Amino acid sequence: MDYKYAAYRPFAGTIKTLTVKRNALGEFFVFLSCIQEWPDVPARTGKAVGMDFGLKHFLTLDNGRKIDAPMWYKSSLNEIRKANRAVSRCKKGSGNRKRALMHLDRVHEKVANRRKDWFFKLANELTSEYAVICIEDLNLDAMKRLWGRKVSDYAFAEFVSILDWVALKNGCQVIKIDRWAPSSKACHVCGVLTEDTKDLRIRTWTCPACGTVHDRDVNAAINIRNMGLSMLIA
C-alpha cells in the first residue's frame, strides 16, 4: 500500500535513519535522524533565577512569582471517564468498541498535546528572561508514590526535558542541584537548618535563629538559586 506524506519543514543535514510509526489512532508519522553541524550558542550573561517545583503551585520563583499549571488531566477527567464508560459498554471485538477506543485515545492525545504546548511556551518565556535557571533534581518516583495522579498530571520530568532543550537553543544554562540538598529546611538569610518544615501543610515558618518569616516555597527557590550559582562558580 502506498502512502503520501506532508513535509512541514525542509530536511537539514545528512539523513542517517528513517522510522515510520503508527499511533493508536491509526495515524502514521515519519521520524528522521539527521547529522548536521550544530552552531555553538554562547552562554548568555544576565539574570539568574531559582525555581522550586511544588504541588500547591507548579513553580515558585525566587522573586515570589508563583506559576500554576492548568491541570490538563484533571480538567478533562469527566470527558475521559465518559469515554471509558463508552468503551466498557461496547462488545469486545465489535466495530463500535474500536471506534470508542479511538475516541478515548484521541482524548488522551489532546490532553498530552495541550500539556506539551504549555510547557514549550513556559520554557521559552523563562529562558528568554533568565540566563541561568537553577532547579532541583527531583525524585519523581517517590513523589508519585506519595501524591499519585497530581504528580503525573504536572509531568515535571517532561517539562525539565523541554526546558533543557529550549535552554540549549537560547544560550541559557540550567543547573540542577542535588535532590537531597536542604533547600526547604535552610533559612536563606542565616543558613540555620530547621526540621519544622517537614510537614508540607506548613506554608510559612519563622527562623528560630534570626526571626525571619519565610514563605516555604520562595525560601526554597532562593536557596536553590544560591546553591546553583555556587556550583557554577566552582
pLDDT of residue 146: 65
Section 87-101 average pLDDT: 90
pLDDT, tens only, 180-224: 888 888 999 998 888 766 677 788 888 888 989 999 999 999 999
* Residue from 37, 136, 178, 195 carrying the catalytic annotation: 136
Catalytic residue among 2, 27, 40, 52: 52
What CA–CA distance (Å, rounded) separates 22 from 29? 6
Q: Is 8 within the bounds of a domain?
A: no
Verify whether residue 164 is a known catalytic residue: no
- Residue 225's pLDDT is what? 96
Summarised one tens digit per residue, pLDDT across range 130-185 is: 999 999 987 766 676 666 677 777 888 899 999 999 998 888 999 999 888 888 88
Number of compact structural domains in the chain = 1
Active site residue 52: yes
Residue 9 falls within a domain, yes or no?
A: no
Structural domain contains residue 109: yes
Annotated active-site residue 136? The verdict is yes
Answer whether residue 1 is part of any domain: no
SS3 category, 11: coil
In a domain? residue 227: yes
Is 146 within a domain? yes
Instruction: Tell me the three cell numbers of residue 4.
Output: 503520501
Nearest CA to 211 among 195, 227, 194, 228? 194
Residue numbers of the domain that contains 226? 14-233
Catalytic one of 105, 178, 215, 217: 217
Residue 121 included in any domain? yes
**5 inside domain:** no
